[in-house]
Structure 1
Amino acid sequence: MPDITPAPRRRPLWRLFLMPVLLLVAAAAWSAFWFFAASQVEVKADAWRAQEAKSGRVYDCAKRSVAGFPFRLEISCSGASVTLRSQTAEQAASRAAPVTAKLGEILVVAQIYDPKKVIAEFTAPATLSDRGGPASMVVNWSKARSSVVGLPDIPQRASIVFDDPAIDRVNAAVQTSLARAKLVELHGRRAEGSALDRPVIETVLKIQGGSVQEVHPLLAPPFDADVRAMLSGLKDFSPKPWPERFREIAAAGGRVEIVQSRIAQGDLVAVAAGTLGLSANGRIDGELQMTVAGIEKVIPALGIEKMLEEGVPQATLDRVAPGVRSQDVSNLLGALDRAIPGLGKVVKQNANVGVAAGINALGKESVLEGKKARAFPLRFVDGAVFLGPLKVAQIPPLY
């Protein structure tokens, strides 16, 4: 029998090219999608900058670029700057010259498959100047990053973290330290269940190894702080100057509820909770219930001795000792020195002991973290901060 072998069937050649062609089409489609998304980033960024400019915050980049193909969007802003107008009560009232901040670079990153989550990194240093003059402050850090979830709609949560931040005042060629910290964190999110038109914001502020000069002696030694608060009174998240924002919060009866706070500084440990609001003058009003261990350690920092040396203001005496004249106190201390040299100085130096005893008498005994403590109110009256009858600070208006 003849050997009959069937001829092999030829496979269609198009099947060999099907997968490569499909991959090529998919790559082309993905590339087109990425470049379209990159172009929309530019459009959204310009629209956001225009909105912020109307609110007195002008952002600019010397050079802007978009990279990260194929799975990320990386927006780089080199030579970044922001000019702030009417962002404080003083600026809004006096139409003062704007403040300009500049820093090296901002890098914003978003995954192409999760564009609502944005992560940013900031390159130090940043400089601040006003009235168009040279830099008056320099801000440095070892690492700074932030994240926002929910863009471009209403943000769901946001955070910013600085490692080793440092703020220096610049005077000619001399830099003076103003603030230092090992770590500063600020986190915020919209509270679950809060309405979109009346959002409640949960915030957490953490400071490790913080130190602030030229504000109050109590803030100069290193301290740690952990503050958790709830902010109400917001109407929306649309861009607007901060004084206008604070005015809206006050009109809506907004409050900051300090849910929990703890400050530790050497032997001093303080916890506080309460509610703060804004007065008709745009100043802080409210009261915090404090429990403090080691308060006697910080009484000298309140400056009682210096107050006596410079003379006790009549307004202070009117609050704590009605009917007593300021000149009478000064004359008494002088008479003590004339009668027995040095006696007036002893009275001044021991004034802190009397103040500590007075503050202890205001509150009640308590225990904080296993230490003896006192519990008492810290009052805010139209921006003035009172520890018992003693005014310890004055906070400027917010609008």
Structure 2
Amino acid sequence: MSDMTIAPRRRSRFGLYFMPVLVLIAAVAWTGFWFFAASQVGVQADAWRAQEARAGRVYDCANRSVAGYPFRLEIRCADPSVMLVEQTASPQTSFVAKLAEILVVAQIYDPKLVIAEFKGPATLAEHGAPPSFAVNWSKGRSSVVGLPAVPQRASLVFDDLTIDRTAAGAETPLARAGHVELHGRQIDGPTPGSQAIETVLQIAGGTLQDVHPLLTQPFNADIHARLNGLKDYSPKPWPQRFREIQAANGSVEIVQSRIEQGDVVSVAAGTLRLNAQGRIEGELQMTVAGLERVIPALGIDKLLEDGVPQATLDRVAPGVKSQDISNLFGALNRAIPGLGKVIQQNANAGLTATINSLGTEAVLEGKKARSFPLRFADGAVFLGPLKVAQIPPLF
């Protein structure tokens, strides 16, 4: 019987090449998809710019490039600018903001989430005029969800923010902040079918110049607010927008506000509205720890030593003349030498006691505090019965 040799069965190499071929096909398809998406960036950007231009926000980009293959789209815009048309009380006035560069990043599988980084400095000017403000930062970034439609939520963050007023080539410090965050989102309004905007503003190490000496010292702020009554986002002069909010019975609800400056801590909550004359109405319930340190910081003691300006008396004591106060102190000094000076020097302590009597004792973050209402009536601001400011109408 002859030996029979069975030839070995040739193994198919299909399985050996299947996965590499599949990966290659997927890579080619993904590459084609990415380049198609990249080619649509310009189309979508132009459509979005046209939409924004109709809303009064004109965007421009001197040089645009697209990168980020394979999983991201990175759109880099050099020398970008935005012109805001009909956004102010003077509809014929437009403002132009210019930046050094913007880098916009979107994941190709989630294009509605856009993250951007801003490179300073930036300038702000009236159209056709020299820059009036210069803004700079060490790191600036934002995130927006919901584009290209109206954003559902957005965040803006800056580190080492500086704002200067510019005039005749010179810059004057206006504001500083070590860290700033602004978050906003759309939420359901107080009535069925209405919309509201919820915002959170956080400032760390902030200072403001040319507003009040108290604000020149570093402060931290954390403010949570809700705006009701905003109908749309189209460009309108601010008086018109405020008038629409008032007609819709809109309001600004301060859900919680906390401001800290050294040993002074203040919290507040309440609701403010506009009346038919465009003046602010409402009330904020405030609690302040370290109130006795606020009085000297406001400069009231120095004010009493140097004399009381008539404008101040008009706010806090209408009808009383500044000259009458000076004459009274002089007469006291003539009758009993030094008496007028003693009264002036002790007026600050008396005023502190008066403010303390306006509210009730409280404890804030383990510190002794005073709780009192800050009332707004027809634009006037009252600390208890004491009128401390007058805010002009907003329309």
Residue 332 of structure 1 deviates from its aligned partner by 3.1
| Partner of residue 225, structure 1 | 221
CA contact (8 A) 1:55 1:241 kept: no
CA contact (8 A) 1:117 1:149 kept: yes
Residue 115 of structure 1 deviates from its aligned partner by 1.2
CA contact (8 A) 2:144 2:154 kept: yes
| Partner of residue 367, structure 1 | 363
Which secondary structure does the structure 2 equivalent of 1:183 belong to? strand
Aligned partner letter, 1:171: A
CA 1:316 to 1:153, structure 2 compared with 1: closer, same or farther past 3 Å? Answer: same
Pick from 115, 118, 125: which aligns with 2:121? 125
CA 1:47 to 1:339, structure 2 compared with 1: closer, same or farther past 3 Å? Answer: farther
| Partner of residue 274, structure 2 | 278
Pick from 238, 246, 250: which aligns with 1:254? 250
Which whole-Å deviations, capped at 9, do the CAs of 1:282-313 have from their partners, x for residues lacking one?
44332101011111212234344548736324
Q: Which moved more, 1:13-22 or 1:62-71?
A: 13-22
| Partner of residue 85, structure 1 | 85
CA 1:358 to 1:77, structure 2 compared with 1: closer, same or farther past 3 Å? Answer: same
Residue 19 of structure 1 deviates from its aligned partner by 5.3
CA contact (8 A) 2:56 2:234 kept: no
Q: After superposition, where does 1:187-336 map in structure 2 within 5 Å?
A: 187-191=183-187, 197-236=193-232, 238-241=233-236, 243=238, 244-304=240-300, 305-306=302-303, 309=307, 311-313=309-311, 316=314, 320=317, 324-325=320-321, 327-333=323-329, 335-336=331-332
For normalisation by structure 2, the TM-score amounts to 0.85
Aligned partner letter, 1:240: P
Distance 1:350 1:306 in 2: 12
Residue 9 of structure 1 deviates from its aligned partner by 5.2
| Partner of residue 137, structure 1 | 133
Aligned partner letter, 2:63: K
Distance 1:196 1:146 in 2: 31
CA contact (8 A) 2:220 2:259 kept: yes
Percent sequence identity is 65
Distance 1:358 1:108 in 2: 55
Q: After superposition, where does 1:145-160 map in structure 2 within 5 Å?
A: 145-160=141-156
Distance 2:303 2:189 in 1: 51
Aligned partner letter, 1:332: L
CA contact (8 A) 2:97 2:125 kept: yes
CA 1:389 to 1:49, structure 2 compared with 1: closer, same or farther past 3 Å? Answer: farther
Runs of 5+ unmatched residues, structure 1: none
Runs of 5+ unmatched residues, structure 2: none
Which whole-Å deviations, capped at 9, do the CAs of 1:226-256 have from their partners, x for residues lacking one?
11122222334x4333624433322211112
Residue 132 of structure 1 deviates from its aligned partner by 2.5
Residue 352 of structure 1 deviates from its aligned partner by 3.1
| Partner of residue 42, structure 1 | 42
CA 1:348 to 1:50, structure 2 compared with 1: closer, same or farther past 3 Å? Answer: farther
Alignment partner of 1:70 is 2:70: yes
Which secondary structure does the structure 2 equivalent of 1:53 belong to? helix
Distance 1:357 1:392 in 2: 16
Which secondary structure does the structure 1 equivalent of 2:276 belong to? coil
Residue 209 of structure 1 deviates from its aligned partner by 0.9
CA 1:228 to 1:329, structure 2 compared with 1: closer, same or farther past 3 Å? Answer: same
Provide the alpha-carbon RMSD of the alignment: 3.2
Distance 2:78 2:209 in 1: 32
Residue 124 of structure 1 deviates from its aligned partner by 1.3
For normalisation by structure 1, the TM-score amounts to 0.85
Residue 111 of structure 1 deviates from its aligned partner by 0.3
Aligned partner letter, 2:48: W
CA contact (8 A) 1:312 1:330 kept: no
Residue 206 of structure 1 deviates from its aligned partner by 0.9
Residue 106 of structure 1 deviates from its aligned partner by 0.8
Distance 1:239 1:40 in 2: 26
Q: Which moved more, 1:389-398 or 1:355-364?
A: 389-398
| Partner of residue 114, structure 1 | 110
Distance 1:173 1:119 in 2: 34
Residue 187 of structure 1 deviates from its aligned partner by 1.3
CA contact (8 A) 1:314 1:325 kept: no
Q: Which moved more, 1:336-345 or 1:356-365?
A: 336-345
Aligned partner letter, 2:234: P
Residue 155 of structure 1 deviates from its aligned partner by 2.9
CA 1:123 to 1:331, structure 2 compared with 1: closer, same or farther past 3 Å? Answer: same
| Partner of residue 94, structure 2 | 98
